[in-house]
């Protein structure tokens, strides 16, 4: 990731929040003799752990393709992102750009037992189901719990302590305050590039919570 002090994002708590709010991740491994392998899965924070620790699972045979647990892996987490038109700046000269938040998390995954994997799967389901009016939890009935216990063998759970991370948050920090305000307003307005999540993220980064 190209370093740029204007867009530095090196706060561990900020990274934890990014993971918490954006749980869809890309897992990348370099496997000797095979090259790069990538997969896409939801992840969760281990909220009780110190530092940044994530848990998830992969479907078989992804664990073999990644040689999961045998070497370093990189998990990429994306926050809000989107196109920014130079027409919104009301200044000249100007060029288009892309605003985004992203983190590359590095560590060696630890393979979980079937019991631990089932617990992670239950947490994942509960995390996404609980906002619904009638959550469809894995253990909602004995029949469903039994079914979940059977299909867990088709997945491999893992826990990864993040040893290091690279992250960047490009939210027009290099622009004057009046330009930032115009970009936020444009992102909140109806149109082909309406992007309220990116507008809210920019508002947060620039201390304009009342504009979110």
What DSSP string describes 12-35?
HHHHHHHHHH--EEEEEEEETTTE
pLDDT at 211 over 70: no
Sorted by where each begins, the domain ranges of the chain are 5-206
What local confidence, expressed as pLDDT, does residue 149 receive? 80
d(CA 195, CA 83): 9
What local confidence, expressed as pLDDT, does residue 210 receive? 55
pLDDT at 212 over 60: no
Q: With pLDDT > 70 as the criterion, what percentage of the chain qualifies?
A: 98
Quick: pLDDT tens for 60-106.
999 999 999 999 999 999 999 999 999 999 999 999 999 999 999 99
pLDDT at 198 over 60: yes
Quick: pLDDT tens for 32-67.
999 999 999 999 999 999 999 999 999 999 999 999
Q: What SS3 string covers 70-107?
A: CCCEEEEEEEEEEEECHHHCCCCCCCCEEEEEEEEEEE
CATH topology assigned to domain 5-206: Pnp Oxidase; Chain A (2.30.110)
Quick: pLDDT tens for 16-33.
999 999 999 999 999 999
């Amino acid at each position: 990731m190209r370093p740029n002090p204007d867009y530095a994002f090196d706060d561990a708590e900020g990274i934890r929040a990014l993971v918490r709010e954006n749980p869809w991740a890309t897992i990348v491994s370099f496997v000797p003799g095979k090259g790069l392998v990538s997969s896409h899965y939801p992840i969760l924070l281990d909220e009780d752990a110190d530092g940044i620790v994530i848990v998830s699972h992969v479907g078989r045979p992804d664990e073999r393709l990644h040689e999961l647990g045998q070497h370093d892996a990189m998990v990429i987490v994306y926050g809000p992102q989107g196109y920014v038109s130079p027409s919104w700046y009301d200044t000249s000269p100007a060029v288009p750009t892309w605003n985004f938040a992203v983190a590359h998390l590095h560590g060696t995954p630890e393979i979980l037992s079937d019991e631990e994997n089932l617990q992670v799967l239950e947490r994942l389901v509960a995390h996404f189901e609980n906002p619904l009016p009638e959550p469809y939890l894995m253990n909602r009935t004995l029949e469903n719990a039994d079914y979940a216990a059977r299909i867990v063998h088709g997945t491999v759970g893992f826990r990864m302590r993040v040893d290091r991370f690279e992250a960047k948050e490009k939210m027009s920090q290099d622009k004057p305050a009046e330009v930032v305000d115009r970009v936020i307003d444009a992102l909140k307005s109806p149109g082909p590039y309406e992007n309220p999540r990116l507008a809210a993220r920019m508002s947060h980064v620039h201390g304009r919570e009342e504009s979110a």
